[in-house]
């Protein structure tokens, strides 16, 4: 079931501050600069339950591998980074 057809309530918050760091997936490493106020969604299940994934990827170039990996694997952030 994809996120658009999922009717379960979602807990959405935004990033408190600009987040500068590195997003890693497999052997790839990407520098990221997430703007303050970016929409994030609470993860309710699995090994990352209680953390948030960045839902709004509009700040990433849609033609690059960073977008692909962020879309399919998710950029996960800690609960203290959202409000």
Query: What local confidence, expressed as pLDDT, does residue 45 receive?
Result: 87
Cβ atoms of 55 and 76 closer than 8 Å: no
26 lies in which domain range?
A: 12-78
For residue 7, being part of any structural domain is answered with no
* Cβ–Cβ < 8 Å for 65, 7: no
Predicted TM-score (pTM) of the model is: 0.83
Kindly state whether residue 46 falls inside one of the protein's structural domains: yes
Residue 83 inside a domain? The answer is no
pLDDT of amino acid 7? 53
Please report, in tens digits, the pLDDT of each residue of the chain (83 residues total): 444 555 556 789 999 999 999 999 999 999 999 999 999 999 988 899 999 999 999 999 999 999 999 999 999 999 999 99
Residue 70, in any domain of the structure: yes
Task: Please identify which residue in the block is written with the tokens 């990407």.
Answer: 30
Number of domains the chain is built from: 1
Alpha-carbon span 25 to 74, nearest angstrom: 9
Long-range contacts of 26-30 (CB under 8 A, 24+ apart): 28/65, 28/69, 30/65, 30/66, 30/69
Evaluate whether residue 5 is within a structural domain: no
């Amino acid at each position: 079931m994809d996120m658009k057809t999922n009717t379960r309530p979602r807990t959405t918050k935004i990033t408190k501050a600009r987040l500068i760091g590195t997003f890693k997936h497999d052997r790839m490493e990407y520098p990221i600069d997430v703007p303050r106020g970016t929409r994030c969604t609470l993860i309710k299940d699995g090994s990352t339950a209680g953390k948030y994934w960045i839902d709004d990827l509009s700040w990433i170039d849609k033609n690059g591998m960073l977008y692909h990996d962020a879309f399919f694997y998710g950029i996960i952030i800690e609960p203290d980074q959202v409000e």
